[in-house]
A and B are shown apart, each in its own frame.
Chain A
Amino acid sequence: MKDKFLQGWDVVVVEDEVDSLEIAEILLMSYGATVYTAADGAAGLEVIQKVRPKMVISDLSMPKLDGWGLLEKLKQNRATMDIPVIALTAHAMAGDRDKAIAAGFHNYLTKPLTVETFLQDMIRIVADIEMLEPFEKDPSSGETVNGSKDSAG
């Protein structure tokens, strides 16, 4: 895309479905991001700890370590606890979205990932994250994010 609004961002995508992973990778790269990928939660955790990305996009159901487990591990570590993690939820699993927000995911993306919706969702999410930055150390940041996301939508 012409609009490289993710220029300079390191993004880690954790997803066990290779096609979904590649689509996310291509799209994020087209927005200017530097993308790191992992095919399961355990590998994802390793990459995240090494890269310290600005944002993590993670599927929920994965082998070895699932999205929930990955988030828990990230929140336990002081170095990674503030990295916003975006949940990838299946369209059919509407209940997962609220659960994901409640669990501490920064936001969610709905699968299938299409060019149009992914762009819109990413713009919204990135705006949220950038708005959040001054309050990054605020422990109640999850709620703030949620509120601002709703008003943006």
Chain B
Amino acid sequence: VGVTAWYKSLIRVDYRFSNPLDEQRARGLITVAMNTVIILAIGLVYLITDTSTSITGLSIGPVPIGVGDLALGAFLFLAIWTVYIVRLFIHRGRPDLAGIAYICFVLFVALLESILNQPATGFVLMLFSFPIILAGVLLEGRQKRIMNAVTIGVVILLAVLHLAGALEKFAPLSLSLGDMLVFVPLILLLQSNALGIFSDNQRKLLEHNLELNRKLEGNLEELATLNVRTMEATRLKSEFLATISHELRTPLNAILGFTGILLQGIRGQVDDDARRMLSRVESNSHRLLELINQVLDLSKIEAGRSELVRTSFSPRALIDQWHTQMEPLAKEKSLQFELVIDKALPETLVGDPERLTQIGVNLLGNAFKFTEQGKVNLRVECTAEDWSIIVTDTGIGIPPHALNFIFDEFRQVDGSSRRMYGGTGLGLAITRNLVRMMNGKIQVESELGKGSIFSVKLPLDGGLASQPITAVNVDKVLV
């Protein structure tokens, strides 16, 4: 019992198995191996306690050990492995093979005993104890305890009968005390753990774990379904937006067209007051059109219907173009506009120059929009794998709480800043999504009142982005 407890604690240490069934199998194997060691140890005790009181010359103290005893030890050793195999077959749903293994074993025992010219003690013991052991193993809870009690009862009965000399009269069962010494502890060992079957508590724990695993798998499945539904909802929303955008643009284009005709005096001159108001109609219509175009753009990106062009282009020429495009803004606000390009930047890159311009112009546009004095710096850096577009300004900066949603749709720092600075609040969301499509990263660092740094890091190979953008969380925020 002590040894059993000890190695049970030993095998409980290792819980690294990912699959509880693997663990169960491993425990079974360890248990059988441990039992084998114990039986071999018993055999060793037999051998070293050499006396000349029996035919074999072996005895345990005063108890002589016959050839039958040794055979019995060997049979029990075999019995453990047989039980292990039988259990394996039963667990695999092959009771037929289990039965064949058991019959083979019993026949083998009988064969050995006839060869050794021994009374069929082992044979009878095996025949009679094996079903008890197996029943004890396969049964659960109360039934198992009853079976254990029956087994122990039978063993005790045998012992008593033996001591009373009653078994001597029963010819095939000439059980000696040595037989009993081997038989009793081993049958208990087999019963309790030779099969690697856990105690009820362990079994419950295992079942609980399995149940939890099953639940977890169910939850995962549910989550996957939910995710698919969310993606579907996003797609539908984007499709709806695309349709709506088109429907919005049509009347707006009519407004712009007719306003333009009136402003150009194509149908006769309009007076200055009317012209002033028509200009307001025109500029507001342009703003609305820009918003609609951005919504359409964003919804297309989110619906995964926006594809990047892959063409070779000159990054220097592209950046020069941004510089030229932004220069009037810098002059208008009397801001310095610095441009620093890393010498390591390759002459040509592969990517989507139009979309890159959208990113660059957006970041620069924001920098100029939110900077009243000082400078805007555009720095282009290059490493072995990627290149970065870094826009630094000395503007109003972004408060820390706003850094978390600065890339979200329709988010500016607060409503008043939108009134003050205009814009749709979609620029950064589009930029972020475009950067993602290019397998790049966008980061922002900012200090309130001091300025902001937006940096976009893009892979030099152009970033083959094929997956649609569905997530809407910020890549990384540095404060």
Question: In the complex, what distance in Å separates the CA atom of A27 from the CA atom of B258?
Answer: 10
Which residues of B sit under 8 angstroms from A26, Cβ to Cβ? 261, 266-267
Task: Tell me, in angstroms, the Cα distance from A153 to B264 when the chains sit together.
Answer: 24
List B contacts of A19 (CB < 8 A).
250-251, 253-254, 257-258
- The reply to whether the CB of A79 lies closer than 8 angstroms to some CB of chain B is no
User: In the complex, what residues of B have CB within 8 A of residue A152's CB?
Assistant: none
Task: For B253, list chain A residues within 8 Å (CB).
Answer: 19-20, 111-113
Of residues 12 through 69 on chain A, the ones whose CB sits less than 8 Å from some CB of chain B are 17, 19-20, 23, 26-27, 30
Among B250, B253, B256, B267: residue with most chain A CB under 10 A:
B253
Question: With contacts A17-B250, A92-B246, A92-B296 known, is A114 near B257, CB below 8 A?
Answer: yes
Contact at B266–A30, with CB atoms within 8 Å? yes
- Complex CA gap A92/B243 in Å reads 12
Known: A20-B253, A115-B261. A27 touches B246 (CB 8 A): no
Q: Complex Cα distance A104/B20, Å?
A: 70
In the bound complex, residues from chain B placing their C-beta under 8 Å from that of A112 are 249, 253, 256-257
* CB nearest neighbor in A for B245: A92
Once the chains bind, are A116 and B260 in contact (CB under 8 Å)?
A: yes
Give the contacts of B121-143 with A (CB-CB under 8 A).
none
> Could you tell me the distance between the alpha carbons of A20 and B255 in the complex, rounded to whole angstroms?
10
Most A Cβ at <10 Å: residue of B250, B253, B257, B264: B257
Query: What is the bound-complex CA distance between A115 and B254, given in angstroms?
Result: 12
The residue among A90, A112, A114 with the most chain B CB atoms within 10 A of its own CB is A112
Contact B254 A27 (CB under 8 A): no
Interface size class of A (residues with CB under 8 A): 10 to 19
- Nearest B-chain residue to A24, judged by Cβ: B257
CA distance A113 to B246 in the complex (A): 15
| Cβ distance B288 to chain A, nearest Cβ, rounded Å | 13
Q: List A contacts of B246 (CB < 8 A).
A: 90, 92
Chain A, 103-134, CB within 8 A of any chain B CB: 111-116
Residues 87 to 142 of chain B near chain A (Cβ within 8 Å) = none
B250, B256, B261 pick with most chain A CB within 10 angstroms: B261
B-side contacts of A90, CB under 8 Å: 246
Residues of B within 8 A of A92 (CB): 246, 296
Chain B contacts of A23 at CB under 8 A?
254, 257-258, 261
* Complex: A20 Cα to B251 Cα, angstroms: 9
- Neighbouring A residues of B267 by C-beta, 8 Å: 26
Decide if B249 touches A115 in the complex (CB within 8 Å). Answer: no
CA distance A121 to B260 in the complex (A): 16
Residues of chain B from 208 to 226 with CB closer than 8 A to chain A in the complex: none
- Check if A1 sits within 8 Å of B266, measured CB to CB: yes
Cβ–Cβ contact B266 & A27, under 8 A: yes
Contacting residues, chain B, for A115 (C-beta < 8 A): 257, 260-261, 263-264, 266
Contact (A114, B256) CB under 8 Å given A26-B261, A92-B246: yes
Residues on the A chain within 8 Å of B264, using CB: 1, 115
CB-nearest residue of chain B relative to A19? Answer: B254
A residues less than 8 Å from B263 (CB atoms)? 115
Among the interface residues A1, A111, A115, which one has the most CB atoms of the partner chain B within 10 A?
A115
The distance in angstroms between the C-alpha atoms of A112 and B260, with both chains bound, is: 12
Beta-carbon contact of A27 and B250 below 8 Å = no
**Closest A residue to B254 using CB positions:** A19
Chain A residue at minimum C-beta to C-beta distance from B252 = A112
Residues of chain B contacted by A17 (CB below 8 angstroms) = 250, 254
Please give, as numbers and ranges, the residues of chain A lying within 8 Å of B260 by CB-CB distance: 114-116
**Cβ of A27: which chain B residues have Cβ within 8 Å of it?**
261, 266
Could you tell me the distance between the alpha carbons of A114 and B262 in the complex, rounded to whole angstroms? 12
Q: Which chain A residues border B249 with CB–CB below 8 Å?
A: 112
Which residues of chain B (221-275) have a CB below 8 Å from chain A?
246, 249-251, 253-254, 256-258, 260-261, 263-264, 266-267
Chain A nearest CB from B341 CB (Å) reads 30
Chain A residue contacts of B296, Cβ below 8 A: 92
The complex places the Cα of A115 from the Cα of B263 at a distance, in Å, of 9
- Alpha-carbon distance between A113 and B255 when the two chains are bound, in angstroms: 11
Bound-complex Cα distance A92 to B249 (A)? 11
Q: Chain B nearest CB: distance from A111 CB in Å?
A: 7
Which of B257, B261, B266 touches A20 (beta carbons < 8 Å)?
B257
Q: Which residues of B contact A113 (CB under 8 A)?
A: 253, 257
Q: Residue of B at shortest CB range from A114? A: B260
- Residues facing A in B304-327 (CB within 8 A) are none
Q: Which residues of A contact B257 (CB under 8 A)?
A: 19-20, 23, 112-115
State the CA gap A92–B264 with chains docked (Å). 26
Q: Collect the chain B residues with CB atoms within 8 Å of residue A116's CB.
A: 260
In the assembly, what is the distance between CA of A126 and CA of B246, in Å? 30
Q: A18 → chain B, closest Cβ, in Å?
A: 9
Residues of B within 8 A of A1 (CB): 264, 266
A39: shortest Cβ distance to chain B, in Å? 15
Which A residues are in CB contact (< 8 Å) with B251?
19
Please indicate the chain A residues that have their CB under 8 angstroms from the CB of B258 in the complex.
19, 23
| CA gap between A69 and B257 in the complex, in Å | 27
B264 nearest CB neighbor, chain A only:
A115
Which residue of chain B is the closest to A113 with respect to CB atoms?
B257
Could you list some 27 contacts between A and B, CB below 8 A?
Answer: A1-B264, A1-B266, A17-B250, A17-B254, A19-B251, A19-B253, A19-B257, A20-B253, A23-B254, A23-B258, A26-B261, A26-B266, A26-B267, A27-B261, A90-B246, A112-B249, A112-B253, A112-B256, A112-B257, A114-B256, A114-B260, A115-B257, A115-B260, A115-B261, A115-B263, A115-B264, A116-B260
In the A-B complex, list the 7 residue pairs whose CB atoms are closest, starting with the nearest.
A112-B253, A19-B254, A115-B260, A23-B257, A30-B266, A115-B264, A114-B260
Given A19-B254, A115-B257, output 13 extra A-B contacts at Cβ < 8 Å.
A19-B250, A19-B253, A20-B253, A20-B254, A20-B257, A23-B258, A23-B261, A26-B266, A27-B261, A92-B246, A92-B296, A112-B253, A115-B264
